Structure 1
């Protein structure tokens, strides 16, 4: 198969490119650094020529509400239009567990808009919603930092290793379209503040994590289960947090 990976040089994208090539597929990593810009449309037609499937795992360029909405809606429309012209038969997109439960977040609203465009496109699709990546714990902590303290709510999270999400994406993009949504989560559920506290301690980060039920997350206040999948419906990955923090 020829598969185009939009955002193919990022954390998930680069891993997906390697995984698919390891399975023997013809893979095109598409990003501005490779001459493909989904927002302007530059290079899309050439990249998608002859493609069987597209995996859009681009994370966006900003979490600010207006910028995020502009990025995800414009890029998605351009990619879907290029897919129609190229005869691509499967569109796969990476999204976020709980994305439709946090309307106060402009970033999450933008991802909901992206999902809606895909669902209404008429192109066979699969949407993969993943929980927070272990690799983003530090960035989450940094975004909530005030000097030497970090304010985070005790809302539940079920974080997952990026490599485990890559494996699921590789399976789905090479298979038949789901024509729906699948969720992917890690094997353990923790309060968000506890995850940050555990990870920072393992990294020797001296900052103090303070529990604040009203601390915002991407611009919105979390409910207890906003960020975890519905019980019994997600694909559960294998890698626990402790193993990821101390590999080998």
Structure 2
């Protein structure tokens, strides 16, 4: 099969490209660096020429309310190009519990993306993943003041980026789900504990203080960001991943 991966140079995209190529598929990696722009539509028709499957891993450069406009415009352009190219399967990556956190602008933007995909003409699959291991450091940085990191006790069930890429590649290689597949890591952590585990493994002088009013995830209620019933649980454990040398996430 021929696959086109939009956002093919990103953290998940480049791993999906590698997995599909290793499986013997014809894979086009498309991004702004290769002349493809999902907002203007430039290069989309060429990138999708003869594609059987489109995997859209592009992302908004910001996480505020303007991210909604990003997905509205990108999905309009990408959906039209996919239909014109007679693509048989359109896959996107979203977030576990994304429709349960209406107070976060970016999550509302991803719900918009999902809705636009569901209402388009091309058969589709949505892979929802929990927060990536690779982004835990960034989460800590959002609420760092001096040597103190303030974090709420919000339950998270983080997952390795490599396991997410494997789930996306598997979904894209199968028949369209016309629905959602959830993937999560094998363990649930309160976010403050996750921070302490991270800084114990990679000490930098900071320490964690529990603060249920701190940061983006303070507005999340309950366990909506953990694996729902029927989710696929990935094999990689966070503490094991922390012991491995990691390339820079992008």
Q: TM-score, normalised by structure 2?
A: 0.95
SS of the residue corresponding to residue 38 of structure 1 reads: coil
Q: Which residue of 2 aligns with 1:40?
A: 40
Is residue 222 of structure 1 aligned with residue 217 of structure 2? no
Distance 1:103 1:205 in 2: 34
1:224-239 superposed matches below 5 A: 224-230=222-228, 232-239=229-236
Measured against aligned partners, the alpha-carbon deviations of 1:62-101 in whole angstroms (never above 9, x if no partner) come to 11222x1121111111111000000001000000011111
Is residue 97 of structure 1 aligned with residue 96 of structure 2? yes
Q: Which residue of 1 aligns with 2:51?
A: 51
CA shift at 1:147, angstroms? 2.5
1:156-175 superposed matches below 5 A: 156-175=155-174
Distance 2:206 2:147 in 1: 5
Q: Which ranges of 4 or more aligned residues in structure 1 deviate by more than 2 Å?
A: none
Measured against aligned partners, the alpha-carbon deviations of 1:101-136 in whole angstroms (never above 9, x if no partner) come to 111111111000000000011211000000000000
Q: Which residue of 1 aligns with 2:184?
A: 185
Q: Which residue of 2 aligns with 1:30?
A: 30
SS of the residue corresponding to residue 230 of structure 2 reads: coil
Larger CA deviation: 54-63 vs 77-86? 54-63
Unaligned regions of 5+ residues in structure 2, if any? 246-250
Unaligned regions of 5+ residues in structure 1, if any? none
Distance 2:37 2:236 in 1: 33
Distance 1:216 1:101 in 2: 17
CA shift at 1:34, angstroms? 1.0
SS of the residue corresponding to residue 128 of structure 2 reads: strand
Q: Which residue of 2 aligns with 1:87?
A: 86
Q: Which residue of 1 aligns with 2:248?
A: none
1:216 and 1:222 in contact (8 A); partners too:
no
Distance 2:24 2:138 in 1: 34
2:19 and 2:166 in contact (8 A); partners too:
yes
SS of the residue corresponding to residue 219 of structure 2 reads: coil
CA shift at 1:146, angstroms? 2.2
Measured against aligned partners, the alpha-carbon deviations of 1:18-67 in whole angstroms (never above 9, x if no partner) come to 1110001111111101110111101000000100001111232111222x
SS of the residue corresponding to residue 135 of structure 1 reads: helix
Distance 1:113 1:125 in 2: 15
2:142 and 2:215 in contact (8 A); partners too:
no
1:38 and 1:44 in contact (8 A); partners too:
yes
CA RMSD in angstroms, aligned pairs only: 1.3
Distance 2:4 2:121 in 1: 19
CA shift at 1:217, angstroms? 1.3
Q: TM-score, normalised by structure 1?
A: 0.95
Distance 2:177 2:119 in 1: 14
Q: Which residue of 2 aligns with 1:70?
A: 69
